[in-house]
């Protein structure tokens, strides 16, 4: 039996082999050249990085030198004998003299921030009160303290201040500060700046102080978070894309005296320019070398390709008697290849004969294999059907479980509402019944029953408001708010709410960002948390309210349905009994409470949760049994301009109706309309009434004088908002006041009152009605 021929290796095209030969000849030179260019590029980049760090260090020293001069001048000015004698007028003359060579304004303030003299306003009286965020540090250290960038109250542009408490020992009496525009720093960093380089200075809180380019546009703005995060440590280099889309090589250093960071940046395009130039030369040289070598390879290919083509044509008859592999070629290897192909053709003919004989056996084996495949397919189909049936059963069970959980939560909610509302209605109905019985007997001593009924109604209204807060349906009136100032203003209220054995402490962060919330609802939320903390400390303890600035990243924001970015944190902590994990997990559920019956409604924390989420914020509980509880509220930072809303009218400001003032009341509920009309008549207004939009418009068309349209929002057919729009079209200048028990989306969108809308939430008292009507007419 003849031995089998060995397997032949895979063959490639002769053209490909020749091209590979060209690559072997030319490639090493190109690789060596590329290696040299790469090392040169690395060397150039290292040089630029060193230059960036060196330039940042030089600019830092120049800025530090200027700041040191200002600090030194401020300390020298503090040695004035006129200041020690309290001669403010004489000391002001010295301040003016120092300003003439210092190039910066100087101010003298009392400890509470009240300005006594300012070189920017010569001879001015009634100077503003301008406390700085660095005053506390200046008083504590008795050293000059450099502030971050802020908008000056007088200059109305980004400025920097250096504050010093006087005297340096003993009780501080005055605060001296030098304040200057960030343009001063911009002038320093532009001196002797090499072409193409950009210098930036960033303060301790990440706000841009100055920039050699586009300074006026960027100064006072927060730096990009990803850029500020890289300014870590005393110095270094990194790459960054700035807010204008430029990719930069950045070197930076940090000043230990001021805490400021100085960066020196150069566009990556300038760093890469030499490399791109040399790379173009390398590509051109390589293309020329390949062109010359390719021409030589094409000539050699002609000598080899013709005999190879003849062998290829003969190979189509491989294994037949017509195959002929004798070729005319001067290349010995190709001739030997023809002989080998002839031997292979003979062997192939023999193999075909053997394959023909075994074909029938192979066909039978194929049939057996197909039969086994069909049987296995039937088994898999049956198993798949069983899995599908099990999945449907599991889905039905999960649906039943979710329905049961939903019904349990609904039962808890409705049970709590029914319990509290029935108690309140029992007080209201019982009080009214007793009043009727006594009045029928002629007894007018019904004051305590009237007070009880009013209290029951008020508590029912509060319960409704808490439910709306949990459902995120209460109408909010947000405004830019300083959290530290709001908490400071609540100190007296909190101290009255807490017991004597509970100590209140506040830790308020300097430079706290503003937030855009309804301040009344935020005060209510903090008061709820304080009451819960007080009840958790039956033996007394410490209640701490803390504020701070923070950042929520993309991962945490996605997990909790928030927007990533900067947030203001307000934390309320106690040293009380704490909560186990299963209680903390249900703390925000409505009507869930661990207090004794009659000591809590279970709606306090759910109201806090609803208000925070409606304000696009986040609330989190941290608690351990025996270790106390901390509730942290995160509210988004407000970047808009500060609003200054007018003072809201109070009951003490409210006057009764003026002569000739007529109110058109539109209310589809008859009893509510009757009570509203009688209340307005009690206040001295002339009242017209209608049960819907059609009747109201008919009264307006009749020509009767109407001063105010007081309309319910939710009414059949035409709602109050559409009625108001049509009434204003017919009577331009008509005042409109809306009221409802549930606003839907007529005048409230995303939980916030539409701008310019006058609104009164049902139910309301006579004083609330009088105040809102008067404010609407006078506004």
Strands 686-690 and 662-666 turn out to be parallel
Instruction: Verify that 452 and 363 share a domain, yes or no.
Output: yes
State the average pLDDT over residues 672-701: 89
Element holding 560 (H helix, E strand): helix 554-560
Cα–Cα distance measured from residue 572 to residue 604, given in angstroms and rounded to the nearest whole number:
14
Domain boundary among 420, 438, 470: 470
Cα–Cα distance measured from residue 107 to residue 74, given in angstroms and rounded to the nearest whole number:
11
Cα–Cα distance measured from residue 592 to residue 416, given in angstroms and rounded to the nearest whole number:
9
Residue 252: inside a domain: no
Contacts of 42 (CB under 8 A, 6+ apart): none
State the average pLDDT over residues 669-673: 87
State the average pLDDT over residues 219-235: 87
Statement: residue 48 has pLDDT above 80:
yes
Q: What would the pLDDT profile of 401-414 be if each residue is shown by its tens digit? A: 656 655 555 555 55
Residue 90: inside a domain: no
- Could you tell me which of 594, 577, 574, 599 has the C-alpha nearest to residue 494? 574
Q: Which residue has the higher pLDDT, 742 or 235?
A: 235
Q: What would the pLDDT profile of 56-67 be if each residue is shown by its tens digit? A: 999 999 999 999
Statement: residue 646 has pLDDT above 50:
no
State the average pLDDT over residues 548-568: 91
Instruction: Verify that 618 and 709 share a domain, yes or no.
Output: no
Residue bearing tokens 């270094």 = 236
Cα–Cα distance measured from residue 237 to residue 613, given in angstroms and rounded to the nearest whole number:
41
Is there a contact between 207 and 182 (Cβ–Cβ < 8 Å)? Answer: no
- Could you tell me which of 472, 469, 568 has the C-alpha nearest to residue 513? 568
- Percent of all residues in the chain with a pLDDT value above 70, rounded to a whole number: 77
Residue 438: inside a domain: yes
| Beta-bridge partner residues of 690 | 666
Statement: residue 2 has pLDDT above 50:
no
State the average pLDDT over residues 328-338: 70
Instruction: Verify that 434 and 501 share a domain, yes or no.
Output: no
Is there a contact between 323 and 317 (Cβ–Cβ < 8 Å)? Answer: yes
Is there a contact between 453 and 432 (Cβ–Cβ < 8 Å)? Answer: yes
Q: Which residue has the higher pLDDT, 74 or 413?
A: 74
Q: What would the pLDDT profile of 436-488 be if each residue is shown by its tens digit? A: 777 777 777 767 667 766 766 666 665 565 555 444 445 667 889 999 999 98
Q: What is the pLDDT of residue 199?
A: 94
- Could you tell me which of 712, 718, 714, 700 has the C-alpha nearest to residue 737? 712
Residue 233: inside a domain: no
Statement: residue 506 has pLDDT above 50:
yes
Is there a contact between 114 and 129 (Cβ–Cβ < 8 Å)? Answer: yes
Q: What is the pLDDT of residue 472?
A: 42
Residue bearing tokens 């400001």 = 653
Statement: residue 204 has pLDDT above 80:
yes
Q: What is the DSSP string of 440-482?
A: HTT----HHHHHHHHHHHHHHHHHHHHHHHHTT-S-B--EEE-
- Could you tell me which of 204, 200, 224 has the C-alpha nearest to residue 214? 200
Domain hosting 688: range is 662-778
Check the CA dihedral 560-565-571-577 and report its sign: positive
State the average pLDDT over residues 307-328: 66
Residue 760: inside a domain: yes
Instruction: Verify that 482 and 622 share a domain, yes or no.
Output: yes
Instruction: Verify that 428 and 361 share a domain, yes or no.
Output: yes
Residue 487: inside a domain: yes
Statement: residue 761 has pLDDT above 60:
yes
Number of domains in the chain: 3
Instruction: Verify that 562 and 681 share a domain, yes or no.
Output: no
Q: 357 vs 350, 353, 360, 362, 366, CA distance in Å? A: 11, 7, 7, 10, 16
Domain boundary among 455, 470, 485: 470
Q: What is the pLDDT of residue 162?
A: 93
Q: Which residue has the higher pLDDT, 648 or 554?
A: 554
Instruction: Verify that 488 and 609 share a domain, yes or no.
Output: yes
Statement: residue 175 has pLDDT above 90:
yes
Q: What is the pLDDT of residue 649?
A: 43
Instruction: Verify that 736 and 674 share a domain, yes or no.
Output: yes
Statement: residue 380 has pLDDT above 80:
yes
Instruction: Verify that 331 and 368 share a domain, yes or no.
Output: yes
Neighbours of 704 (CB within 10 A): 11
| Beta-bridge partner residues of 476 | 752
Q: What is the pLDDT of residue 650?
A: 44
Q: Residue 568: pLDDT band by 50, 70, 90 thresholds?
A: very high
Instruction: Verify that 489 and 632 share a domain, yes or no.
Output: yes
Residue 451: inside a domain: yes
Q: Please, what is the average pLDDT of the chain?
A: 80
Q: 363 vs 25, 317, 355, 374, 490, CA distance in Å? A: 54, 27, 12, 17, 94
Cα–Cα distance measured from residue 265 to residue 213, given in angstroms and rounded to the nearest whole number:
11
Please report, to the nearest 10 degrees, the dihedral formed by the alpha carbons of residues 103, 109, 111, 112 taken in order.
-120
State the average pLDDT over residues 560-583: 90
Task: Report the CATH number at residue 521.
Answer: 3.30.565.10
- Could you tell me which of 645, 652, 690, 646 has the C-alpha nearest to residue 770? 652
Element holding 628 (H helix, E strand): strand 628-636
Helix, strand or coil, per DSSP, at residue 334: helix
Q: Residue 499: pLDDT band by 50, 70, 90 thresholds?
A: confident
Q: What is the DSSP string of 487-551?
A: HHHTHHHHHHHS-TTEEEEEEPPTTPPPEEE-HHHHHHHHHHHHHHHHHT-TT-EEEEEEEEEEE
- Percent of all residues in the chain with a pLDDT value above 90, rounded to a whole number: 21
364, burial (CB in 10 Å: exposed 0-12, middle 13-18, buried 19+): exposed
Quote the pTM value.
0.38
Q: What is the pLDDT of residue 751?
A: 46
State the average pLDDT over residues 418-447: 68
Q: Which two tokens stand for residue 741?
A: 């028990």
Q: What is the pLDDT of residue 631?
A: 92
State the average pLDDT over residues 206-223: 90
Burial 270-286 (b: 16+ CB within 10 A, else e): ebbeebeebbeeeeeeb
Q: Which two tokens stand for residue 258?
A: 């001021």
Residue 198: inside a domain: no
Statement: residue 207 has pLDDT above 90:
yes
Instruction: Verify that 459 and 595 share a domain, yes or no.
Output: no
Instruction: Verify that 584 and 512 share a domain, yes or no.
Output: yes
Least confident of 7-16, 80-89, 142-151, 597-606: 597-606
Task: Report the CATH number at residue 687.
Answer: 3.40.50.2300
Statement: residue 517 has pLDDT above 50:
yes
Domain boundary among 620, 636, 652: 636
């Amino acid at each position: 039996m003849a031995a089998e021929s060995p397997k032949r290796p895979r063959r490639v095209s002769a053209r490909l082999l020749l091209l590979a030969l060209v690559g072997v000849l030319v490639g090493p030179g190109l690789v060596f050249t590329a290696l040299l260019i790469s090392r040169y590029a690395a060397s150039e980049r290292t040089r630029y990085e060193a230059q960036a760090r060196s330039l940042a260090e030089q600019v830092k020293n120049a800025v530090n030198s200027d700041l040191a001069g200002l600090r030194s001048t401020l300390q020298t000015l503090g040695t004035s004998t006129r200041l020690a004698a309290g001669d403010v007028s004489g000391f002001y003359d010295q301040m003016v003299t120092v300003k003439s060579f210092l190039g910066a304004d100087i101010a003298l303030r009392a400890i509470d921030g009240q300005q006594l003299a300012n070189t920017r306003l010569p001879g001015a009286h009634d100077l503003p009160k301008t406390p700085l965020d660095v005053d506390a540090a200046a008083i504590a250290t008795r050293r000059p303290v450099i502030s971050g960038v802020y908008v000056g109250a007088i200059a109305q542009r980004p400025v920097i201040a250096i504050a010093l408490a006087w005297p340096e020992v003993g009780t501080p009496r005055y605060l001296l500060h030098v304040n200057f525009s960030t343009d001063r720093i911009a002038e320093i960093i532009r001196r002797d700046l090499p072409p193409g380089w950009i210098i930036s200075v960033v303060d301790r809180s990440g706000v841009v102080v100055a920039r050699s380019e586009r300074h006026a546009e960027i100064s006072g703005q927060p730096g990009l978070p990803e850029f500020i995060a890289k300014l870590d440590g005393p110095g270094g280099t990194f790459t960054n894309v700035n807010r204008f889309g430029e990719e930069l090589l950045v070197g930076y250093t940090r000043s230990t005296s001021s805490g400021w960071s100085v960066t020196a940046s150069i566009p990556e395009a300038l760093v890469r320019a030499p490399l791109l130039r040399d790379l173009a030369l390398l590509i051109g040289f390589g293309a020329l070398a390949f062109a010359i070598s390719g021409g030589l390879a094409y000539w050699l290919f002609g000598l080899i390709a013709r005999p190879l083509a003849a062998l290829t044509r003969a190979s189509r008859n491989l294994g037949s008697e017509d195959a002929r592999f004798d070729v005319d070629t001067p290349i010995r290897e190709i001739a030997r290849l023809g002989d080998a192909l002839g031997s292979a053709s003979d062997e192939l003919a023999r193999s075909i004969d053997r394959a023909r004989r075994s074909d029938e056996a192979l066909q039978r084996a194929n049939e057996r294999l197909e039969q086994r495949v069909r049987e296995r397919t039937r088994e898999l189909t049956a198993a798949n059907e069983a899995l599908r049936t099990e999945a449907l059963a599991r889905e039905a069970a999960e649906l039943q479980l979710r329905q049961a959980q939903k019904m349990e939560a609904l039962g808890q909610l409705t049970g709590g509402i029914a319990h509290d509302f029935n108690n309140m209605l029992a007080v209201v109905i019982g009080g009214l019944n007793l009043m009727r019985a006594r009045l029928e007997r002629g007894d007018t001593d019904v004051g305590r029953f009237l007070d009880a009924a009013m209290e029951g109604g008020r508590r029912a209204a509060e319960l409704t408001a808490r439910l709306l807060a949990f459902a995120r349906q209460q109408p909010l009136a947000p405004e830019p708010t300083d959290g530290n100032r709001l908490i400071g203003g609540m100190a007296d209220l909190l101290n009255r709410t807490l017991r004597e054995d509970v100590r209140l402490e506040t830790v308020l962060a300097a430079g706290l960002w503003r937030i855009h919330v309804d301040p009344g609802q935020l005060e209510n939320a903090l008061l709820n948390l304080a009451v819960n903390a007080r009840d958790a400390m039956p033996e007394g303890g410490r209640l701490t309210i803390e504020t701070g600035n923070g950042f929520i990243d993309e991962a945490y924001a996605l997990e909790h349905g928030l927007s990533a970015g900067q947030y203001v944190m307000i934390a309320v902590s106690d040293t009380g009994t704490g909560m186990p994990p299963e209680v903390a997990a249900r703390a925000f559920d409505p009507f869930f409470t661990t207090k004794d019956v009659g000591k809590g409604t279970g709606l306090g924390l759910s109201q806090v949760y609803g208000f925070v989420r409606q304000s696009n914020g986040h609330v989190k509980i941290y608690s351990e049994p025996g270790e106390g509880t901390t509730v942290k509220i995160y509210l988004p930072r407000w970047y808009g301009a500060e609003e200054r809303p007018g003072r809201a009218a109070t009951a003490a400001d409210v006057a009764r109706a003026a002569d000739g003032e007529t109110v058109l009341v539109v209310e589809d509920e008859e009893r509510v309309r009757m009570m509203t009309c009688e209340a307005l008549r009690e206040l001295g207004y002339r009242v017209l009434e209608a049960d819907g939009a059609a009747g109201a418009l008919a009264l307006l068309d009749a020509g009767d004088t109407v001063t105010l349209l007081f309309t319910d929002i939710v009414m059949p057919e035409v709602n109050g908002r559409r009625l108001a729009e049509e009434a204003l079209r017919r009577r331009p200048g008509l005042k409109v006041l809306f009221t409802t028990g549930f606003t839907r989306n007529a005048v409230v969108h995303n939980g916030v009152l539409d701008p310019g809308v006058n609104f009164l939430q049902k139910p309301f008292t006579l004083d609330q009605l009088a105040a809102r009507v008067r404010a609407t007419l006078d506004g």
